[in-house]
Amino acid sequence: MTKNNELSGISVVSGWGVGKAYFVGRAVKNVSTVNITRQEVGNEIMRFGEIREEAKKDYRQLINQGAETTLDSSILNIYEHILDDPAFIGQVVETIATRLYDLESAIRTVSEDFITRFESAGTSYFKERSSDMVEVCEKLVSCIHQDNGRARSFIEPVVLVVLRTFTPTDILSYDKSKIQAVLTTSGGKTSHAAILARSYSIPVVSGVHNITDKIHPGDQVLVDATAGTVFVRPTATLLNHYKRPHDTEEKLERLKTRWRKPVYTKDGVKLDILANISLPDDVDEAIDNGADGIGLVRTEYLLSNRKEMPPEDVQMMYYTDIFEKSKGKPCVIRLMDIGGDKIPQFFEMPQEFNPFMGWRAIRIFLERKDILVTQVSAILKAGKGYNYSIMVPMVTTLQEWTEAKKIISGVARGLNLPMPKCGVLFEVPLSVLEMNTFLKEIDFASIGTNDLIQYLSAADRNNSKVNYLYNPIEPAFLRIIRNTIKTANDNGMPLSICGEMAGNPHHTLLLIGLGLRRFSVIPRNIPIIKELVSKISLVEAMEHISHIDAIDSTKNMANWLTSLNQKLLGDAIEKYPSVDDLL
């Protein structure tokens, strides 16, 4: 293996995987194919006509906007002409029918052929037509992806190559069982996409430069995400090295078997280790890993790959499935956290310079009350007879919370159903600082450390230039967490942490010492967290953690915490290689 076939990046989710390169985020110049059966040909051709009409409709809307659009109407007319070009249409139809390519693969293949011919002509006019072809192809592919929630499947394992910022939809749009790894140009460890990838044990490497110069569609790619290394067209020797059996999974299976039961600290205090999930199938994994309940259901992923907001009956089926699979264990449903990097394809969002601090979650709900009422109605109907509660994200003020709770109460009253327990996800600094004012009005609380750190440090967690400031063991941040936990405990308020900090085993001892009694983590790490909890004395942990005020820097805190983990846990952390996934 020469260095020319080796790329490097940043480890986002550790592990390794090997598969054929499948490009995401750019419709042409990177043509990977998905095959269909002959019986599916007719449907794909019919669908081609539908998405062409949808694309033309979008362009006409831009033309009708006149001065409001930055694109000249004559250029938009060219796009329409390409969409109606008999040569383009005929070649796509022929590719589907004779080569048995799915619609997306056929459009990409034909577009690439047109672009190659345009560029080889050598004149500026045809080169401009080349960029027009790229635009049209992008538009058609984006229309395809709105497919009512059906995940696209592959015939063989793939490595997704994402040529832009990595988003949650990049995982949810495909059959997750076939995704062996993800390569992306940008995206941090605590981005929502990374969190989702981690929950499905999909290795991710970010910050890979010159991807398209080194990797071509269909190339076999080996991703060592633990080392941040990517091998293009790896040798058989290298593949055999990685495929050699490891004992990691065997250790985890033993832990799963041991911890399908409640966990207590060494001095007899029961802790709840809950699961963060996104889809109904995730509940099975959570229960199998010993979850004491579901601490966070990320309901916005119900919207993935849909053309429109799902109606109440569709949402109700989603929640019913989750409640049934939870087998009577408590389940916290978070209302849809739309916004930031979780924007449905069909949802019209305003142009925002900083969407993470803009119109999202509860802010959308209080303006679009119809969406909130539909979701709450579906949850309440599905939850009849189950142990569930509702959590509201991104709450900033008590007034927001009061208005949201009033709507939930009104829906419950209208349905003649009991009002569920309702709580707040504390992730906005103002609400955290005013937690005392919320305690009389809420039934439970959770801390969303991912966004809270981002807002407190004014550091975008996806920006490699500033994410060194994004650190959960920053002394000032830990003091805020300690005070928040203490406030809840002093008032008898159930409180959990559902951010990535809770799922990092290197922080387990720290959080217990700070007073946390409820952790909500990805299913795979539940047995590891329980194992560590069983080896910790609550009194001893609290005694040691009481000294953190004397530590004045992140570096000193990291050194001190490493030393404390070694002192109180010995080699317990190092025994489980999967722990590296969280570092």
Residues annotated as catalytic (active site), given as ranges: 192, 498
96 phi and psi angles, rounded to 5 deg = -65, -45
DSSP string, 375-404: HHHHHHHHTTTS-EEEEE-S--SHHHHHHH
3-state secondary structure at position 31: coil
Is 299 in contact with 281 (CB distance < 8 Å)? no
DSSP string, 209-235: -SHHHH--TT-EEEEETTTTEEEES--
Using CA atoms, how far apart are residues 493 and 499, in angstroms rounded to an integer?
19
Using CA atoms, how far apart are residues 186 and 178, in angstroms rounded to an integer?
22
* Beta strands 6-8; 229-232: pairing state: antiparallel
CA distances, 133 to each of 2, 363, 420, 450 (Å): 36, 39, 53, 40
Alpha helices, H only, 473-553? 475-490, 500-503, 508-513, 526-533, 538-545
Is 133 in contact with 111 (CB distance < 8 Å)? yes
Is 371 in contact with 365 (CB distance < 8 Å)? yes
